[in-house]
Amino acid sequence: MSDSSGLWGGRFSGATNDAVAALSRSVHFDWRLAKYDIAGTRAHILALKAAGYLNEAEQVKIDKALVELDKRVASGMFVAKPTDEDVHSALERGLIEMVGPELGGKVRAGRSRNDQIATLIRIYLIDQATAIRGEVLSLIDVLTTLAEEHLSEPMPGRTHFQHAQPVLLSHHLLAHVWPLVRDLERLAEWKNRASFSPYGAGALAGTSLALDPNIVSEALGLTAPMANSIDATSSRDVVAEFAFIGALIAINLSRFAEEIIIWASAEFNYVKLADAFSTGSSIMPQKKNPDVAELTRGKAGRIIGDLTGLLATLKALPLAYNRDLQEDKEPVFDIADSLLLTLPAFTGMVATMEFNTQRMEELSSAGFSLATDVAEWLVKQRIPFREAHEITGKLVAFAESRGIDLNEVSDMEFASISNYLTPEVREVLTVSGSIKSRSGTGGTAVPRVLDQISALRKLVPNTSR
């Protein structure tokens, strides 16, 4: 039998069925909101006092009990019972055990679990967002430092996963940083929207007790009470947006994770993972596996599932509160937990992996990746690009048929392909020349990479060592 019928017992003559109590129960996952629930109640009794429903002595007595309860929750001395339905009812039981049913029974006036839970999930997620932000900042810091350390080392740049044009390793690494910077901006903007207080909305229509919701909002460090009590209790767009940003972070990590898995293969041999951040095989003694990168990639799938499930729960829900909304919590808890589990390991793996820059350099001119440089060199000789493309195409076909590289074509052979291909074209047939020439805004040339590093340090102060 469930105890929580204590919250509504008056109208009911029979006890709740066991299967229903088991279905209803959320305390096994919402217990993590306990300290936020206590903070909400401490704020609420200030509003009750201001409106004259509690006198000073009563408020002080309840507040002391709540502070003690908070300690007992933190130390594990006070825990939910199997008969407690949710975190709110468990903590109300705890408070009543400490101050008695008469005083403890006054606290519930003017609020509902509907406005309570809508507030708690916001302040909980704001804290999780701060923790996630810290982890993402560490990764940004590590990547920016790596970009500095490998400032002018080339690697093959790819499109369609084929060799395309040489780029700097630093440029490629920073390409993984910018999306993360935007994720942090998204989190900051999300926080502005999340920082409104549903408290005072009651079950859905507001309260007739003339409680000042500003008192609660301020005590919880939020911007202001929400303007519409129905919206306050029934909307979960803020929760869904958190889930989306979390999913995007996971997706951004997964794209880099996928590259690291490929880079660590014998065929690529671009990176060597540190022992502490890779695993062995139970049967194949030679194996060193990129499990951290694989789990990062795998977590993205799980997190996308959390987001999708949450959106499906919200779809077509009529206003105002429906119990379906209890299903909003586990997905976002899982997203925050998964990110906070993944990020430190992923960042550690990235910080400790060793780049085989010699191998990357050797391959960076493979696949005729300097062909665009030849075509652009012809354009600089005032040949229309259409013709330049055609001539360069012939040059590539010629080199390919001989099994040689573009810079191995002789002056005579150049001339036989086109009169425009004078020996001067050789100046762009080097990887370093190619990279140096791409010096326009956002390009891979060293000065543009340095621009990015200084811009990142201004945007994200933590990235300066």
Burial class from Cβ neighbours inside 10 Å (0-12, 13-18, 19+) for residue 281 reads: exposed
The count of other CB atoms within 10 Å of the CB of residue 289 is 15
Nearer to ligand ARG (CB atom), residue 322 or residue 454: 322
* Catalytic hit among 28, 152, 265, 281: 281
Question: How crowded is the C-beta side of 100, counted as CA atoms within 13 Å?
Answer: 4
Site residues (CB under 6 A) for ligand ARG? 26, 86, 113-114, 117, 323, 325-326
Alpha helices in 25-86 (DSSP H): 27-30, 34-50, 56-75
Of 105, 148, 109, the closest CA to residue 6 belongs to: 105
Nearer to ligand ARG (CB atom), residue 143 or residue 314: 314
The reply to whether 160 belongs to the active site is yes
- How are beta strands 224-225 and 271-272 bridged, if at all? unpaired
The reply to whether 171 belongs to the active site is no
Nearer to ligand ARG (CB atom), residue 160 or residue 323: 323
CA dist., res. 151 & res. 145, Å (int): 10
Q: Is the dihedral of CA 329, 331, 337, 343 positive or negative?
A: negative
Nearer to ligand ARG (CB atom), residue 117 or residue 167: 117
- Nearest distance in Å: CB 87, ligand ARG: 8
Q: Is the dihedral of CA 231, 236, 237, 239 positive or negative?
A: positive
- Nearest distance in Å: CB 327, ligand ARG: 8
Nearer to ligand ARG (CB atom), residue 35 or residue 297: 35
The count of other CB atoms within 10 Å of the CB of residue 84 is 24
Q: Where are the beta strands (DSSP E) in 309-420?
A: 354-355
Identify whether the C-beta of residue 129 lies closer than 8 Å to the C-beta of residue 195: no
3-state secondary structure of 158: strand
Q: Is the dihedral of CA 411, 416, 422, 426 positive or negative?
A: negative
The count of other CB atoms within 10 Å of the CB of residue 374 is 25
Nearer to ligand ARG (CB atom), residue 84 or residue 183: 84
Of 103, 109, 111, 89, the closest CA to residue 59 belongs to: 103
CA dist., res. 23 & res. 85, Å (int): 10
- Nearest distance in Å: CB 319, ligand ARG: 14
Identify whether the C-beta of residue 117 lies closer than 8 Å to the C-beta of residue 40: no
* Catalytic hit among 160, 208, 282, 401: 160
Nearer to ligand ARG (CB atom), residue 206 or residue 290: 206
- Nearest distance in Å: CB 192, ligand ARG: 24
- Nearest distance in Å: CB 128, ligand ARG: 17
The token duo for 414 is 């150049």
The answer, yes or no, to whether the previous bond of 80 is cis (omega within 30 of 0) is no
Nearer to ligand ARG (CB atom), residue 113 or residue 176: 113
3-state secondary structure of 176: helix
- Nearest distance in Å: CB 451, ligand ARG: 48
Task: For residue 168, list its beta bridge partners.
Answer: 154
CA dist., res. 376 & res. 383, Å (int): 9
Active site residues: 160, 281
